[in-house]
């Protein structure tokens, strides 16, 4: 899941990516997307047992991404702004950074 924070004076959005540690088998979570050239950005486990990281992205953009669990399992964000097909026969999560009134 993710949340967005818009800045009045900047042309960027702070996105907080989160994945709850619901399963004791989960030891690592990373977010991979076209905003980081599909290279894993590791989410850190916090005291609330949630893996989390913050990334700043440009406003007025669309991004595709997925979570990489335990370096082997791909998962979509259940609260994504949308989904789009990928070349591997599955879907990617979509993140929109357009601010609505």
Instruction: Kindly list the domain boundaries of the chain, sorted by start residue.
Output: 2-96
Q: Are 66 and 54 in contact (CB under 8 A)?
A: no
Per-residue pLDDT reduced to its tens digit, 26-77: 999 999 999 999 999 999 999 999 999 999 999 999 999 999 999 999 999 9
> What is the predicted pLDDT for the residue at 101?
60
CA 69 centroid distance within chain: 12
Question: Class of 2-96 per CATH?
Answer: mainly beta
Cβ of 16: how many Cβ atoms within 10 Å?
14
Rg (CA), the chain: 14
Cβ of 63: how many Cβ atoms within 10 Å?
19
Q: Does pLDDT of 8 surpass 90?
A: no
β-pairing, 50-58 vs 62-69, is: unpaired
């Amino acid at each position: 899941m993710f949340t967005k924070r818009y800045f009045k004076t900047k042309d960027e959005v702070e996105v907080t990516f989160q994945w709850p540690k619901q399963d004791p088998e989960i030891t690592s979570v990373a977010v991979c997307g076209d905003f980081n050239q599909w290279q894993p950005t590791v989410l850190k486990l916090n005291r609330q047992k949630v893996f989390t990281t913050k990334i700043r992205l440009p406003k007025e953009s669309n991004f595709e991404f997925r979570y990489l669990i335990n370096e082997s399992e791909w998962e979509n964000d259940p609260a994504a702004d949308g989904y789009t097909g990928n070349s591997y026969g599955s879907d990617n999560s979509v993140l929109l950074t357009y601010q609505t009134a």
